[in-house]
Amino acid sequence: MTGPSGSPQARHGSHLPVPRRWAVVTAGVGAGMGAGLLGTSLHGHLWSVSGALIPVGAIAALVLLGAVQLFVGLWSRNAWVVVMCGGATYLCAGLLSIPRGGFGMISANVQGNVWLYGIAVVTPLVAWWTSVLVRAKE
């Protein structure tokens, strides 16, 4: 089936064409780097409630990452883009955690651990959820 301009329609009944591979790779890596930068700047916020430390910034950063990954995965209709996005985020956060001059932007504290290890937890969960949603659309 072709659209009004003669371009092939998306396989899933959408009126939008399937994105090109270069656009998918660029979007996945760019979104991952952006989420890594924004999440790193956000992760340090902490609430202390009755002596308990709640890393609200790191949790918010992981929610941001999950939302970005889900958006890119559903836009590209491919769960592997979510994995690529998570890899770019982890690479960005890893580079920012390297101490330069005795100071790294991500420390080995509650917030830093939740942010760094949370990327490795959120990415496969969002990739799985994206694959479920893409298959349901078929």
Looking at residue 2, what is its pLDDT?
46
Q: pLDDT tier at 136 (50, 70, 90 boundaries)?
A: confident
Contact criterion met (CB below 8 Å) for 73 and 64: no
Nearest alpha-carbon partner for 70 in 21, 120, 132: 132
Quick: pLDDT tens for 24-74: 888 888 999 999 999 988 887 888 888 888 889 999 999 999 999 999 998
Task: Please give the Cα distance from 57 to 3 (Å, whole number).
Answer: 45
Q: Which of 103-112, 113-122, 129-138 has the highest mean pLDDT?
A: 113-122
pTM: 0.80
Looking at residue 9, what is its pLDDT?
47
Q: What is the mean pLDDT of the chain?
A: 83
Q: pLDDT tier at 87 (50, 70, 90 boundaries)?
A: very high
Within 8 A by CB and 6+ apart from 80, the residues are: 127
* Burial grade of 100 (CB within 10 A; 0-12, 13-18, 19 or more): exposed
Specify the DSSP class assigned to residue 8.
Answer: B
Whole-number percent of the chain with pLDDT over 90: 40
